[in-house]
Amino acid sequence: MKKILALILTLCMVLALAACGSTSAPAATQAPATEAPATEAPATEAPVEATEAPAEATEAPAEATEAPAEATEAPAEATKAPVEATEAPVEETEAPVEEPAAEEPADEPALEPMSYADYAAAAVDDPVCVICYAQAHQSWWDGKVTVYAADEDGAYFLYNMACTEEDAAKLVDGAKIKVTGYKGEWAKEIEIVDATFEFVDGDPYVAEPVDVTEQLGTDALVDYQNRLVSLKGLTVEPYDENGAAFQYKDPDGKTDDLYFKVSKDGETFEFCVEFYLCGNDTPVYQAVEALEVGQVVDLEGFLYWYEGANLHTTSLTVVE
């Protein structure tokens, strides 16, 4: 049957070709000539399949275009590397800051105790260390105490020395101590400042007052600075134009130093009772409060210096 149909179609095509050859060009638009290709199912299906192939082929470029998209991601990751690389210098700059903290200064060697002559020869601000004996001290306060000390060759003023309250109570009756600090000077008073101390085993030493009446008013008096001294036969002078024999530093509370003036050979000197050494309940404080101008007195005390001799009086006796 198929062969018959094929034969018929072949004949039709032959006849059509013959007709084309014998007629004019417009005859090509007749129905028999155009219908044969259009109605053949096999002939039209092939182009349909063929057009599908390009559709599939066009998909390949679509996939291919994805590759650049992925490729563009690589630079994005690559650009991150410099960001991480820039963090390294930040860590490097921190290292020099930590290095100095590891170094600690070496401890200074301990000072050996010096003689009084070596202490006297030392320059102001030099470190000093002495073995001496406590003679008296001012009131302890806030972990510090000011001590009057001495040895057989001289004396020391230990200003605001670090001390516990319990140890301050032991700094009497010639207690032997080792003191380390710095030599200082204030208003020509020579002292040891920033000092620490420790008790030393040994016999106590209590200095006897040195009579310096003849040196009063001379340059030689300074050689006895800070020592326990005595002054005899001095005349009480008016302290001010009002004629009073003494003056309170704190006239209202009477809880501070007490000042008075005495003379020898026509020269007048101002001395005091240091309140933190001898308070208003002590005999010497009360004796000064009872002074009268013109009385003759004997004094004892520590030869403190304030732009000149300024005895810290511990004893006063009226002799005339």
What CATH number should be reported for the domain holding residue 148? 2.40.50.140
* Domain contains 217: yes
Amino acid at 8: I
Q: What is the per-residue pLDDT across 58-112, written as a single tens digit (0 to 9) for each?
A: 343 434 344 343 434 444 343 444 444 444 444 545 555 555 555 555 556 689 9
219 & 185 share domain: no
Domain assignment present for 7: no
Considering the domain architecture, whether residues 240 and 157 belong to the same structural domain is answered as no
Residue 131 lies in a domain: yes
Rounded to whole angstroms, the Cα distance separating 281 from 279 reads: 5
**Structural domain tally of the chain?**
2
133 and 188 inside one domain: yes
Structure tokens at 162: 């670090």
Q: Are residues 312 and 234 in the same domain?
A: yes
- Pick from 138, 169, 199: which residue ends a domain? 199
Same domain, 195 and 215: no
Q: How buried is residue 301: exposed, middle or buried, by Cβ count under 10 Å (0-12/13-18/19+)?
A: buried
pLDDT at 41 over 50: no
Q: What is the pTM of this model?
A: 0.68
Return the pLDDT at 219.
97
Q: Do residues 300 and 220 share a domain? A: yes
Domain of residue 230 covers: 210-318
The tens digit of pLDDT for each residue in 154-180 reads 999 999 999 999 999 999 989 999 999
Query: Tens of pLDDT along 180-230?
Result: 999 999 999 999 999 999 999 999 999 999 999 999 999 999 999 999 999
* Mean model confidence pLDDT for the chain: 80
Q: Are residues 214 and 314 in the same domain?
A: yes
Domain shared by 157 and 131, yes or no: yes
Q: Is residue 183 part of a domain?
A: yes
SS (H, E, C) the chain: CHHHHHHHHHHHHHHHHHHHHHCCHHHHHCHHHHHHHHHCHHHHHHHHHHHHHHHHHHHHHHHHHHHHHHHHHHHHHHCHHHHHHHHHHHHHHHHHHHCHHHCCCCCCCCCCCECHHHHHHCCCCCEEEEEEEEEEECCCECCEEEEEEECCCCEEEEEEEECCHHHHCCCCCCCEEEEEEEEEEECCEEEEEEEEEEECCCCCCCCCCEECCCCCCCHHHHHHCCCEEEEEEEEEECCCCCCCCEEECCCCCCCCCEEEEEEECCEEEEEEECCCCCCCCCHHHHHHHCCCCCCEEEEEEECCECCCECCEEEEEEECC
Residues 215 and 314 in one domain: yes
Whether 34 maps to a domain, the answer reads no
